[in-house]
Structure 1
Amino acid sequence: MTDNPTAVRVTDLSVHLPDGPELLARTTLTLRRGRVSALTGPSGSGKTTLLRAVIGDLPGGARIASGTVDVLGHDVFALPADRLRDLRRHKVAYVGQDPGSALNPRMRVARLVAETAVDPSPRAVLGLLAECRLPTGTGLADRRPGALSGGQQRRVALARALAREPEVLLLDEPTAGLDTALRDEIADLLCRLAATRNLAVVLACHDPELVERCADDVIDLGTARAPAARTAVPVPAPRRSGTERPAADATAAPGPGLAAHGIEVGFTQGGRAHRALAGVDFAAAPGAATGIVGPSGSGKTTLLRVLAGLQRPAAGTLTLDGRPLPATARARARDRQRRIQLVPQNPLGALNPTRTIGATLARPLRLHRTTPKPDIPGRVTELLHDVGLPADFAGRYPHELSGGQRQRASIARALAPEPDVLLCDEVTSALDPDTATAIMELLTRLRTERGLTLVLVSHELHLVAAYTDTVHLLEAGRVEATGPTGKLLSAVR
C-alpha cells in the first residue's frame, strides 16, 4: 500500500449539526491512488457526510467539530471559494446517492456529459456512455433524464464524473438500482479505472457483494456512535450470510385488485421513438405481494408510474377492484388517490426540502383525513417508529438525514394515508442489509394486519424471493414471464 501515493487524508474529523445530532463520529482515514476504498456501515453512520466533507460541501447547517480534510495537498475547508470550485471541477468528482436530482431535466444526455468533459467531442462522449454500460445505439444520448430509468440516470452521472478526468472519484451507492450483471460490470469498471488512471476511487456501499468484488480497502463506519476516535483499517470484504426468511404466505384475499392491460408508453427524443412499455399486462391481487424484476432500463419504474397515475400511457387500461381507474392521479377521486401510494426510487421525490419530516408526514394525514387533527402528532411518531426512525426526526429536514434515513421517511410518508396498494421502487437499495430486512418485515406485517397489496420493484432477488408471492419479469418493455416467485426466480437465477 505504501507504493500508492496518498490522495486524501482525513484526520480526527467529526461533524455535527448545531445543537443537534452528530452526523459523523471522529474518524481518521487515508485514501490512496490506484486503489478502490469502500465505506460501509449502517444507514446514518456518516458515509455520505464523509464523502461530502472530502469535497468541502457539508449538509446545510452542519459544522466541523474537529479534524481536517486534506485532498491532493489542499485543506479543503481552508481553500478560498474559487480554488475550491476549481478543485471540484478538475480534480475531484462526486456522484451523490440521488444522481437523477443533479441532472438538468432540460438537457439531453450527450450535452450533460459534454458539459463537464475534458474532451467534449461526440465520439468521446459516446465512448464514455459505452464505458458506463449505456446503450449508445438506441438514441439514449438524445434523451432527457426524465426518459431514463433510475439505473440509467446513475450511469449518466458516472459518465459526467469520468468526463472531467478527475484524480479522486467519490461515489455514493453507485450501483443502487442496477441489476446484478450491471453491478458486476460497474465494479469491474471501477477497478480498471483505479488501475489504469491511477485514480483514488471511494464508494459508500451497502452491498457486500459489490465490496467483495472491487474494494481493495474497506472502512467500516459502523462504530459511528462510539465516543473514541476511529482509525480506518483495511479489513476483508464482508460476505452475505446466505440466510433468508421463508417466502411470505402466498394466500391472498379474493378480489380483482389492481390490474393493467395492454399498457403502451413511448418517448420521442431527437426524432427517434423509444418504446418503454409494449403491451404490458399486470395484476396484483388484494393482500398479495407481487415482484417486478428485470434488467435496468426494462421499464419497471415506468410501469409503477403508470399504476400510480404519474405517467399517462399512450394505450391500455387500468382497473381497481374491477372498476376503471383513470390514467392520471389528478383525474382520480380523492379516496382512490389515497388507496394507491408510491415510494419512489429517489426519496427526494417524496420529501419537500422546505418541510420538516414531521410536516411531510402530517400533510397526507390532514389531506386524506385518516387521523383526527388532535391525534396527528402522535400518529407521526408512530409512523417514524414503524420505519425505525426516532421520534425527534420529526423536527429534522431531509438534508439532515442520510440517504437510508430519507428512504425510510419516504416509506413512512407513503404509509400515512393508509393505502390499500403500496408501490415500492427499489425501496431497499440505499439501506444496509439489516435495515432492508427490517423494512421488508414491516411491509409484510402491514400486509397481514391491513390486507395491504405490495408491489415491489427490486434488483435484490433474495428479497423478492423471500417476500413476494408472484413475480413479473420485464425485458425491453415487455412482460416475458409471470408466475409464482419461487418457480420463476429459480429459472432466472
Structure 2
Amino acid sequence: MSDLAPARFTTAEVPARPPLVTATDLEIRLPRGPVLLPRTTARIHPGRITALMGASGSGKTTLLRALIGHLPPGAAVTGTLEVLGRTPHLLPARELRLLRRTEIAYVGQDPGSALNPRMTARRLVAELAADPGEETVLGLLAECRLPLGTGIADRRPTALSGGQQRRLALARALARAPKVLLLDEPTAGLDAPVREEIARLLRHLSATRDLAVLLATHDAHLAGICADHTVRLTPEAASRALPAARTAPAPRSAPGRAAAPGQPEAPRGEGLTAEKVDASFGSGRGRRSALSGVDFAAAPGSATAVIGPSGSGKTTLLRVLAGLHPVHTGHLALDGSPLAARVQRRTREQQRRIQLVPQNPLAALNPRHPVGRQLARPLRLHTTLPRTALPERVAELLAQVGLPAAYADRYPGELSGGQRQRVSLARALATGPEVLLCDEVTSALDTDTALGIMDLLGRLRREHRMTLVLVSHDHALLARCTDTAHLLEAGLLTASGPTARLLPA
C-alpha cells in the first residue's frame, strides 16, 4: 500500500515522468519460511525521492536488495518487478553486474563495513569513478558535503565519524553516475544538524542529477521534509513485540553489591572510570587526535549518556572503554582495579563484565555463522550451561529482544538492519554483563521497538544493578532513560552532570 505525503523541500508539483522502478504486488518469502517482503506496490520516478517506511523487519531492506537482484538463496518471488526495464533477480550474472555498476547504486545501512579500511577517501571514490582524476574525485567529496579543508580526502574510513562514512559511501555511489539511488537508513546515528544536511543534500542530488531516490528510514522527520512520496510496509506477523517478563540472568556481581532504588551512589572507586585518556587515529605525521584528556565515570547501576555532535569522539570513547581502541595515555579502572587498555590483556571475568553493542552490527556479526551459533559462543565462554541447554537459552535471548526463536537459523545477511541490531544486543546480554556500552542501539529501530528495547535495558539495570552507557542522537530517549551525561566536543570533555541540564531543550 502507498501513502503519498507532500515534502516540505519540494518545489511546485509537476507531472511525474514514467517511473524507472515499478513493483506490482511484489512479495518475497523464504521457502517454508517467513515472508520477507509483504505484498507491495510502488513506483519510483526520476527526479523524485520516495521514502520507504515501516516497523523493523517489515521488509524495507529486502525491497532495496530486490532492486539490485540480491536476495537470499531460494527466495520465492511473486508479483512483478522492473528496474530500468529489467527484472534484476532474473538477469544473467553478467548483465546484473553491469546494471549495478552503471545504472543503480545502493548504500547500505552500515556503510563503514563496505569501505576498505586500508584506502583513503580519495582512493575509495576514484576506484569507482569513470573519471578518477583529482578534480572529479574532490568534486564528488565536496558535493557530498565533506570538508576538504580538513584533509579528509587523505583519511581512512576508521578515522571518519559515522556521518562522514555515510557521505563518503554516497560519494562512491554517485561516482558511477547512476539513474537510481537506493539508501538504507541514511540518517541512522546522526545528530539533528547532520540529518538536516543529508535531507538538503538528497533534494539537491535528486534535482541536479535527475536521480530516482528510494530511501528506507525510520526517521519520520526526514521523510516529512525530504520525500515526495512515502510507501509504508506492514509486517504480516507482529514479531517485534517485546515480552515483558523475561530477563537476562543476574550478572555475577562482586560481593556486597546490593541493588538500590533510585539514583545509585557508589562508594569511591566503584564502577567504570577513565582518567586523562588520550586516543588518536593514524600514526606518525598522519596522526589525528580523537580524544584528549577525557575523564569518564559510570557508577554501578547508573545510566550515563555520552552526547555530542557527529565526529566528537563518542564511539571512540566507548571503544576505548571496551578495550577495542588503543589508548595513547591515561588510565582505566573497574571497581578501583586497573583495567588493561587492550581487551586481549583483560581477564576473562573483566571481558565478561564489560560488553559493547556496536553502532554497525553487520561489521561485528560473522556473516558465515547463523545467529544461534553466534549467541551460543559467549554462553560457552562465560557460563557453565551444558551444551544441551544452549538452544533454549538462545531462544530466550532472542525473545528478550523481540525476535522469534526461528531466527537462530538465519544468517546476518538475511536480517534487516534493525534485526541485526537486536541480535547484537542479545549477544552482549548473553554474558550477564555488569557494564553495557550501547552505541546507537536503537538507531535502526522503529519507535515502538526502540522503546521496548530501552524498557528491557532499564529493567535489567533496576533488577541487577547493571550499568548502562548510552550513545545516541535521540535526545528524547536519553532524557527518558539516563541520569547523568558527558558532553564531548571535538574529542574534549566539555561538561558532565545531570542529563536534563546538559541536553538542549
**TM-score w.r.t. structure 2 length?**
0.89
Deviation at 1:118, TM superposition (A): 3.0
How far apart in 1 are the matches of 2:16 and 2:381? 61
Q: For 1:250-269, what aligned pairs fall within 5 Å after superposition? A: 251-255=263-267, 256-268=270-282
Match in the other structure for 1:331: 345
* 1:286 aligned counterpart, secondary structure: coil
User: Which amino acid in the other structure matches residue 392 of structure 1?
Assistant: A
Contact 1:142/1:270, CA 8 A, preserved across alignment: no
- TM-superposition CA deviations, 1:20-60 (whole Å, max 9, x none): 211111212111111110000001111001001111111x3
User: Which amino acid in the other structure matches residue 167 of structure 1?
Assistant: K
Deviation at 1:125, TM superposition (A): 2.0
Deviation at 1:224, TM superposition (A): 4.5
Percent identity of the aligned residues?
A: 62
Deviation at 1:370, TM superposition (A): 5.0
2:138 corresponds to 1:126: yes
User: Which amino acid in the other structure matches residue 426 of structure 1?
Assistant: E
Match in the other structure for 2:367: 353
Name whichever of 185-194 and 80-89 sits farther off: 80-89
- TM-superposition CA deviations, 1:62-120 (whole Å, max 9, x none): 42331222112222233332222121111111001111111112211110011112332
Match for residue 161 of structure 2 among 129, 149, 155 = 149
Match in the other structure for 1:231: none
How far apart in 1 are the matches of 2:96 and 2:62? 18
How far apart in 1 are the matches of 2:130 and 2:214? 22
Match in the other structure for 2:255: none
Match in the other structure for 1:160: 172
2:216 corresponds to 1:204: yes
Deviation at 1:259, TM superposition (A): 0.5
Contact 1:139/1:272, CA 8 A, preserved across alignment: no
Residues 360 and 473 of structure 1: CA distance in aligned 2, closer, same or farther (over 3 Å)? same
- TM-superposition CA deviations, 1:202-249 (whole Å, max 9, x none): 1000011111110110000025559xxxxxxxxxxxxxxxxxxxxxx8
Contact 2:354/2:435, CA 8 A, preserved across alignment: yes
* 1:77 aligned counterpart, secondary structure: helix
Match in the other structure for 1:140: 152
Deviation at 1:5, TM superposition (A): 2.8
Unaligned 5+ residue runs, structure 2? 1-13, 239-260
Q: For 1:69-468, what aligned pairs fall within 5 Å after superposition? A: 69-224=81-236, 251-255=263-267, 256-268=270-282, 271-468=285-482
Match in the other structure for 1:50: 63
Deviation at 1:194, TM superposition (A): 1.2
Unaligned 5+ residue runs, structure 1? 227-248
Match in the other structure for 1:4: 17
How far apart in 2 are the matches of 1:338 and 1:481? 30
Contact 1:97/1:174, CA 8 A, preserved across alignment: yes
Name whichever of 130-139 and 289-298 sits farther off: 130-139
Match in the other structure for 2:5: none
Match in the other structure for 1:235: none
Deviation at 1:373, TM superposition (A): 3.8
Name whichever of 365-374 and 412-421 sits farther off: 365-374
* 2:341 aligned counterpart, secondary structure: coil
Match for residue 49 of structure 2 among 22, 26, 36 = 36
* 2:57 aligned counterpart, secondary structure: coil
Contact 1:250/1:288, CA 8 A, preserved across alignment: no
- TM-superposition CA deviations, 1:149-187 (whole Å, max 9, x none): 222222211111112221110000001121110000001
Deviation above 6 Å: which 4+ runs of structure 1? none
How far apart in 2 are the matches of 1:62 and 1:305? 38
Contact 1:142/1:269, CA 8 A, preserved across alignment: no
* 1:152 aligned counterpart, secondary structure: helix
How far apart in 2 are the matches of 1:166 and 1:470? 46
Contact 2:38/2:234, CA 8 A, preserved across alignment: no
CA RMSD of aligned residues (A): 1.7
How far apart in 1 are the matches of 2:226 and 2:117? 32
How far apart in 2 are the matches of 1:251 and 1:42? 33
* 1:128 aligned counterpart, secondary structure: helix
How far apart in 2 are the matches of 1:42 and 1:412? 19
**TM-score w.r.t. structure 1 length?**
0.92
User: Which amino acid in the other structure matches residue 214 of structure 1?
Assistant: C
Name whichever of 445-454 and 159-168 sits farther off: 159-168
Contact 2:31/2:76, CA 8 A, preserved across alignment: no
